[in-house]
């Protein structure tokens, strides 16, 4: 099953890689709905009129997956808007800094290894994010990290898998960042190289290959019995899983 060609980032100049998880057919013949759950970047640079447009789409909850230091240097501009509930859950809290990824991955920057470590070692945070989405007020939920690729990608994967979206589609959805977030990746590429990384390693850090997500899904299958069994393992029971699916379908 192919990713719908209509999948596009929301057209807000100054922001990057904002997209909803709508338009994907599930294994039960249902389709995920538009403007229910969005994933993306930290919204820095959003203009006031686009701020209002996002709210007009029904946004009621924002979940920020970043660390305190990231938030301090680039706060979400909607965090203090009284019309939304803003929640900070540092999803990868406890993982080694990204600069140590080569040590974890045998000398290469292998994001599949980092994602697997996050799923294994950050289970309380994963569960907290999912419960927050399940129990959020009626309306749309926006979850984000800095670029909307890694931490955001893990939550998107679990939400889509729980809703019954096939794994090939989940992997391709992860890969959409290469197209929809290209402008942000160009900005980050310069920053990372300026910090001393080689162009080759920088490309590895910024990549969002579907094959990476397939390896993560393989790990979930081999270690836990699949994404649903993983959710059960981390305390996301059938009632909560149904609430998550209902928000998306």
Confidence of residue 25 (pLDDT cuts 50, 70, 90): very high
pLDDT digits (tens, 9 = 90+) for 85-136: 999 999 999 887 765 655 555 566 788 999 999 999 999 999 999 999 999 9
Looking at the chain, the whole-number percentage of residues with pLDDT higher than 70 is 85
Distances (CA, A) of 216 to 69, 98, 116, 131: 28, 18, 6, 22
Residues in the chain: 249
Q: Among 7-11, 23-27, 120-124, which range has the highest average pLDDT?
A: 120-124
Alpha-carbon Rg for the chain, nearest whole angstrom, is 17
The predicted pLDDT at position 6 comes to 56
Q: Is 84 helix (H, G, I), strand (E, B) or coil?
A: coil
- Domain ranges for the chain, please list them: 19-248
CB neighbour class for 190 (10 Å; exposed up to 12, middle 13-18, buried from 19) = exposed
Could you give the strand order of the β-sheet that contains 85-88, starting from the edge strand earlier in sequence?
Answer: 19-20, 37-40, 140-144, 59-64, 85-88
Q: Please choose, from the candidates 109, 130, 110, the residue with its C-alpha nearest in 3D space to the C-alpha of residue 227.
A: 130
Q: Is 59 helix (H, G, I), strand (E, B) or coil?
A: strand
Pairing relationship of beta strands 19-20 and 37-40 according to DSSP bridges: antiparallel
Q: Please choose, from the candidates 82, 8, 9, the residue with its C-alpha nearest in 3D space to the C-alpha of residue 41.
A: 9
Q: Is 44 helix (H, G, I), strand (E, B) or coil?
A: coil
The predicted pLDDT at position 103 comes to 56
Q: Please choose, from the candidates 148, 93, 158, 98, the residue with its C-alpha nearest in 3D space to the C-alpha of residue 125.
A: 93
pLDDT digits (tens, 9 = 90+) for 138-191: 999 999 998 899 999 999 999 999 999 999 999 999 999 888 766 766 676 677
- pTM for this one? 0.90
Domain 19-248 -> CATH class: alpha beta
The predicted pLDDT at position 195 comes to 74
The predicted pLDDT at position 2 comes to 47
Q: Please choose, from the candidates 11, 12, 36, 18, the residue with its C-alpha nearest in 3D space to the C-alpha of residue 163.
A: 36
Q: Please choose, from the candidates 209, 110, 192, the residue with its C-alpha nearest in 3D space to the C-alpha of residue 146.
A: 192
């Amino acid at each position: 099953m192919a990713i719908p060609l209509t999948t596009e980032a929301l057209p807000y100049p100054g922001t990057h890689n904002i997209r909803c998880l709508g338009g994907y057919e599930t294994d039960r013949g249902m389709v995920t709905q538009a403007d229910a759950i969005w994933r993306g970047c930290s919204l820095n640079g959003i203009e006031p009129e686009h701020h209002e447009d996002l709210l007009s789409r029904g946004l009621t909850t924002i979940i920020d997956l970043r660390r305190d230091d990231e938030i301090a240097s680039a706060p979400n501009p909607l965090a203090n808007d009284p019309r939304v509930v803003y929640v900070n859950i540092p999803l990868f809290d406890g993982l080694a800094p990204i600069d140590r990824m080569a040590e974890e991955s045998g000398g290469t920057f292998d994001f599949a290894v980092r994602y697997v470590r996050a799923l294994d070692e950050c289970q309380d945070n994963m569960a907290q994010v999912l419960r927050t989405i399940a129990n959020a007020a009626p309306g749309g939920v926006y979850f984000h990290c800095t670029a909307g690729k890694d931490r955001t990608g893990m939550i998107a994967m679990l939400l889509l898998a729980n809703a019954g979206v096939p794994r090939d589609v989940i992997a391709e959805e992860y890969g959409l960042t290469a197209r929809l977030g290209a402008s942000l990746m160009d900005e980050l590429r310069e920053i990372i190289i300026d910090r001393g990384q080689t162009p080759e390693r920088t490309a590895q850090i910024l990549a969002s290959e579907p094959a990476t997500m397939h390896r993560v899904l393989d790990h979930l299958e081999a270690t836990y019995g699949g994404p649903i069994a993983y959710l059960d393992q981390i305390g996301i029971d059938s009632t909560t899983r149904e609430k998550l699916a209902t928000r998306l379908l």
